[in-house]
Chain A
Amino acid sequence: MSIRIEQVNKRFGDFVALEKVNLQIKTGELTALLGPSGSGKTTLLRIIAGLEQADSGRIHFNNEDITGQHVSERGVGFVFQHYALFKHMTVFENVAYGLTVKPKKFRPNNAEISKKVHNLLQLVQLDWTADRFPAQLSGGQRQRIALARALAVEPKVLLLDEPFGALDAKVRAELRRWLRRLHDEIQVTSVFVTHDQEEAFEVADRIVVMNKGAIEQDGTPEQVYDTPANPFVYEFLGNVNLFRAKVKQGQTTIGKVQLASPEHTNGKEQDGFAYVRPHEIDVLIAPSSDALKVTIDLVTIVGPQVRLEVLTVVETNNDNNNEQQLIHIELPKDQFKALQLHQGDMAWIQPRYSKVFLGEGI
């Protein structure tokens, strides 16, 4: 089942939750709606489900316009951040609920329901919990039950609202991989909302980055990470350093450092911002003419990685008033040990790669 969203607008009072959103989701794809809180991603998901009504715009499932259709007729499976299990029902009753409320004509008999529920519980590897109550299960188990419950009615579309948001880091990582494998197995068109870029990259076939009620970029995880469409996407997808730069004929200059930026071919010199990721910076101990001189301000060792905070002096437009800029660098521990640098030492840094956006940045 493919989903097509056309020109959807939604306001809550004065707050614009969604503005002219267009999106197409292909059959069988697992798509992540990624964005900070207040970006409209959950609202978009709830509009697809029918839990909210768009102020204007249309929603299509396979070429059928379902904008006016009631939630209960859309055939979507929905998983909530806080599970929303029926706490007075057993796990079995929870999973069976969607089947037992069907009108008599379509309702399977008890034996069929029981068989189906147990199959689903096996699918989520929790068959042994059938007679328990939700309160007796862990968060990760509850979310898997919630998923089984959503799948019981054989939804055409599966929607997940921050499904791992309420879980601790370890369970979350486990469940992410599990969801990915499950999706490969059942192949139902799925959309999940997350604010965690790592989660989106690990699980999704496709990432839709949202901000302030609009879609900033839409592509495969690799496309979104390697060629961010704009400064927002770049900054949202992980830590980043920002340098004032001058661009001319495909060359970017940050202080004395020259970098290639073939996308900007204009012959005239232009001001811009160069974005450099912390792991895309080389650290040198010897002075070099095309490197930035820095002072090591803070060294933090996080497992196999070393995070450095270094300070450099940058020229501002006002020449008498130079200011210090903080730069984040990440490098493997071995490499850092070989450099034999300590807090307070002098060093030189060279960005290997940068992405330049013209203008005053964000």
Chain B
Amino acid sequence: MSRTGLNSQRRWLKPLLISSGVVLTLLLLVVPLIFIFVAAFSAGVGGIWQNLTEPDMLHAIGLTLLVAGLTVPINLVFGTLIAWCVTRFSFPGRRLLLTLIDIPFAVSPVVAGLLYLLLYGSNGPFATLLDQHDVQLMFAWPGLVMVTVFVSCPFVVRELVPLMSTLGTEQEEAAVLLGASGWQVFWHITLPNIRWALVYGVILTNARAVGEFGAVSVVSGTIRGQTNTLPLHIELLQQDYNTAGAFIAAALLTLIAIATLVVKAFLQWKLARTSD
């Protein structure tokens, strides 16, 4: 084909690609997003207030915050330890460990939930042991925390590993040579260098913990006012034909998501600046 032919082809290709991109974004993202708020506000301010203060809704909000509030610190500590382990030491199985960390991303959350249910539920191998000590994991908040920790555990690790690999070990070695102890090295040298990536990992973990549906729905049993998180509550409200209530809860989750995106964008900008 001649050069001009290629150019003329490009002339209509470029606007076509751009406009289809814009149209798809509008149809798939922007319109639904706006619709959530429109539908939520259709109940009026009084309706919103009534729905928000309803006991089951308040309990769902509280439970969601509890699950996220426990998941984030657990994964923060766990993720930092793993990242430290794989970037600061070399041992057999190091690559395997790095691959295993990604399993929660590869496995469907429903499968993860089911696995936990079979393993720690009333028919699982630990059932007698858990019964003896009067511990209920499944269909209770500990189960929700367990599956949420599982599905969101790669975020912190995946943020830290590339950064800690590029940082290298020289600064830490220098600190040890100057007489610093292991803790001092971590607090004085490692943590200040990874803090923004760590916060970024926390933001992502939190977003996932708040919004998780699949894994949580399997182990929760959706007991109203007891084991219902916000995403599960939305489904229940929808099934109750309380469309306004469902959209109000959805709007709440959407607000959290938007806030997360804003913080994320700010941190990305900050990270890019500090890594220069």
Spell out A's residues near B (CB within 8 Å): 49, 51, 71-72, 76-78, 80, 82, 84-88, 97-98, 101-102, 146, 149-150, 152-153
B193 and A149 contact, CB distance less than 8 A:
no
> Which of chain B's residues have a CB closer than 8 A to the CB of A97?
175, 178, 180, 188
Complexed CA–CA distance, A51 and B180 (Å): 14
> Which of chain A's residues have a CB closer than 8 A to the CB of B175?
86, 97, 101
Complexed CA–CA distance, A149 and B177 (Å): 11
Interface stretch, picked from B166-174, B226-234, B239-247, is B166-174
> Which of chain A's residues have a CB closer than 8 A to the CB of B46?
none
A80 and B179 contact, CB distance less than 8 A:
no
Q: What is the interface of chain B mostly: helix, strand, loop, or mixed?
A: helix
Q: What count of chain B residues pass the 8 Å CB interface test?
A: 16
Spell out B's residues near A (CB within 8 Å): 170-171, 173-181, 184, 188-189, 192-193
> Which of chain A's residues have a CB closer than 8 A to the CB of B179?
72, 98, 101-102, 153
13 contacts between A and B (CB under 8 A): A49-B177, A51-B173, A51-B177, A72-B181, A78-B174, A78-B177, A80-B173, A85-B174, A97-B175, A97-B180, A101-B188, A150-B178, A153-B179
Question: Least Cβ distance of B274 to chain A in Å?
Answer: 9
Question: Least Cβ distance of A336 to chain B in Å?
Answer: 47
Complexed CA–CA distance, A71 and B193 (Å): 22
A71 and B174 contact, CB distance less than 8 A:
no
> Which of chain B's residues have a CB closer than 8 A to the CB of A80?
170, 173-174
The 5 closest A-B pairs by CB, nearest first: A98-B178, A84-B170, A84-B174, A88-B192, A101-B180
A149 and B178 contact, CB distance less than 8 A:
yes
Contact of B193 among A88, A102, A146 (CB under 8 A): A88
Question: Least Cβ distance of A41 to chain B in Å?
Answer: 17
A71 and B176 contact, CB distance less than 8 A:
yes
Complexed CA–CA distance, A80 and B188 (Å): 19
> Which of chain B's residues have a CB closer than 8 A to the CB of A72?
176-181
Residue of B nearest to A49 (CB): B177
Residue among A49, A51, A72, A149 having the largest count of chain B Cβ atoms under 10 Å: A72
Residue of A nearest to B182 (CB): A72
Complexed CA–CA distance, A92 and B251 (Å): 51
Complexed CA–CA distance, A146 and B180 (Å): 16
Complexed CA–CA distance, A127 and B184 (Å): 27
Question: Least Cβ distance of A134 to chain B in Å?
Answer: 10
B173 and A101 contact, CB distance less than 8 A:
no
Complexed CA–CA distance, A82 and B170 (Å): 8
A84 and B193 contact, CB distance less than 8 A:
no
Complexed CA–CA distance, A80 and B171 (Å): 9
Question: Least Cβ distance of B110 to chain A in Å?
Answer: 43
> Which of chain B's residues have a CB closer than 8 A to the CB of A82?
170
Complexed CA–CA distance, A153 and B181 (Å): 15
> Which of chain A's residues have a CB closer than 8 A to the CB of B178?
72, 97-98, 101, 149-150, 152-153
> Which of chain B's residues have a CB closer than 8 A to the CB of A86?
171, 174-175, 188-189
B177 and A77 contact, CB distance less than 8 A:
yes
Question: Least Cβ distance of A62 to chain B in Å?
Answer: 19
Contact of B171 among A51, A84, A152 (CB under 8 A): A84
A84 and B173 contact, CB distance less than 8 A:
yes
Question: Least Cβ distance of A190 to chain B in Å?
Answer: 15
B181 and A101 contact, CB distance less than 8 A:
yes
Complexed CA–CA distance, A290 and B175 (Å): 64
Residue among B177, B180, B192 having the largest count of chain A Cβ atoms under 10 Å: B177
> Which of chain A's residues have a CB closer than 8 A to the CB of B173?
51, 71, 78, 80, 84
B184 and A101 contact, CB distance less than 8 A:
yes
Complexed CA–CA distance, A177 and B243 (Å): 80
> Which of chain A's residues have a CB closer than 8 A to the CB of B171?
84-87
Residue of A nearest to B191 (CB): A88
Residue among A76, A80, A101 having the largest count of chain B Cβ atoms under 10 Å: A101
Residue of A nearest to B189 (CB): A86
Question: Least Cβ distance of B185 to chain A in Å?
Answer: 9
Residue among A76, A78, A152, A153 having the largest count of chain B Cβ atoms under 10 Å: A78
Question: Least Cβ distance of B53 to chain A in Å?
Answer: 46
> Which of chain A's residues have a CB closer than 8 A to the CB of B189?
86
> Which of chain A's residues have a CB closer than 8 A to the CB of B177?
49, 51, 71-72, 76-78, 150
Residue of B nearest to A152 (CB): B178
